[in-house]
Amino acid sequence: MPLLEVKNLHTYFKTKKGIVKAVNGVSYSVEPGKTIGIVGESGSGKSVSAMSILRLLDANGYIAEGEILFEGKDLTKLSINDMYKIRGNAISVIFQEPMTSLNPVFNIKRQLSEPFMIHQGMKKKEAAKYAVKMLEAVQIPNPEAVMKQYPHQLSGGMRQRVMIAMALACRPKILIADEPTTALDVTIQAQILNLMNDLQRENGTSIIFITHDLGVINEMADDVVVMYCGQVVEKASAKTIFTNCKRSHPYTEGLMYSIPKLDSNDKLEPIPGVVPHPLALPKGCKFAPRCKYCTKRCEEEEPELTMVDEGQLVRCFYPDKEERKSAEHQKEVIVHF
């Protein structure tokens, strides 16, 4: 039984120019103790879909349709007071930029004791004791001294560790990590990823890992959700996606070929073109204008997310790699670039 189920989620934003459908019918589920990775380019709706779970949306954003089931409750229908009890307690978030998400006018002690005082009703002194323990758990050297410091006195890696400590304070069941290592250097990134892995093993937390770095996904995730233009285009286990699988979405395939690899000198094959504007999405398949296998059917009809293999769902009419590369298919292809 999954811990969290996102069903047919639609999150829209009202703007002056019209309604932006940032998330358009996304479904996935999170199993206890597992890591689910969400990849996509900027603007693909990966962050919005995860933030919708906690309803941390901008004022003009709203969930138009869909259910988010967490332990039998639908989070979209809970009152705001009930949401407060869940945020930071059962489900917590690590944000992308550790500088802007820590409060610069409070010291670490005050910020880190907060979850203990709010969710577990501890007194100040007791909470501080636990806060030190949390800092130790995230391997910050000399935690007592760090408690008295302010965010600007810490380096990027340290701030991100504090954020992780804060997120894990109440031993959440689900941790949403929104690009937690994007702003960090590789050596620090390796430290943080390792730390998250260790903490997950200890506490059995489920992680929703959002990133655009496929390498990080390979290292962290058990299941991968690939998003494009607010839709899930592929859903499979990491093992299937990163090994040479028979079937896949052309977008996933393109992403794989467009990152330079350390162990080969193959020429890069970039995906041509850019992500379409959210207010002017193509009629048929959203990826059709950039796809090198696109046919007339792709431009007119929208494909459904269909099961192509055990545990692998792909939103494409031609999921088979061999088939779409064959000469027969090439006849029908519409060349855009």
CB of 227 to another protein, least distance (A): 13
- String of b and e for 3-30 (b: at least 16 CB within 10 Å)? bbbbbebbbbbeeeeeebbbbbebbbbb
Order of strands across the sheet with 231-237?
91-94, 174-178, 206-211, 35-39, 223-228, 231-237, 312-314, 306-309
Using the minimum distance from each CB to another protein, give the nearer residue, 263 or 322: 263
Q: Please state the closest distance from residue 146 (CB atom) to another protein, in A.
A: 13
3-state secondary structure of 319: coil
- Which residues, other chains included, contact 80 with Cβ-Cβ below 8 Å and sequence gap of 6+? none
Residue 217's nearest CA partner among 36, 94, 4 is 36
Query: Smallest distance, Å, CB 183 to another protein?
Result: 9
Q: Least distance (Å) from another protein to the CB of residue 35?
A: 9
Q: Pick the closer one to another protein by CB: 259 or 300.
A: 259
Closest to another protein by CB, 134 or 196: 196
Q: Are strands 306-309 and 312-314 parallel, antiparallel or unpaired?
A: antiparallel
Cβ 124 to another protein shortest distance, Å:
30
Contact indicator for 35, 209 with CB cutoff of 8 Å: yes
Residue closer to another protein by CB (options 185, 323) is 185
Residue 274, Cβ neighbours under 10 Å: how many? 10
Smallest separation, CB 209 to another protein (Å) = 12
Q: Across the beta sheet with 73-74, what order do the strands follow?
A: 18-30, 4-15, 61-70, 73-74
Q: Which residues bind another protein (CB under 8 A)?
A: 41-42, 141, 155-158, 185-191, 193-194, 197, 201, 212-216, 218-220, 222, 238-239, 242-243, 254-256, 258-263, 265, 267-272, 274-275
Q: Minimum distance between the CB of residue 258 and another protein, rounded to whole angstroms?
A: 4
Nearer of residues 113 and 181 to another protein, judged by Cβ: 181
Cβ atoms 163, 92 nearer than 8 A? no
Q: Which is nearer to another protein, 194 or 326 (CB)?
A: 194
Token pair for residue 89? 């307690």
CB 117 within 8 A of CB 89: no
89 vs 218 by CB, closer to another protein: 218
Q: How far is the CB of 311 from another protein (least distance, A)?
A: 12
Token pair belonging to 332: 């029908």
Nearer to another protein, 55 or 247 (CB): 247
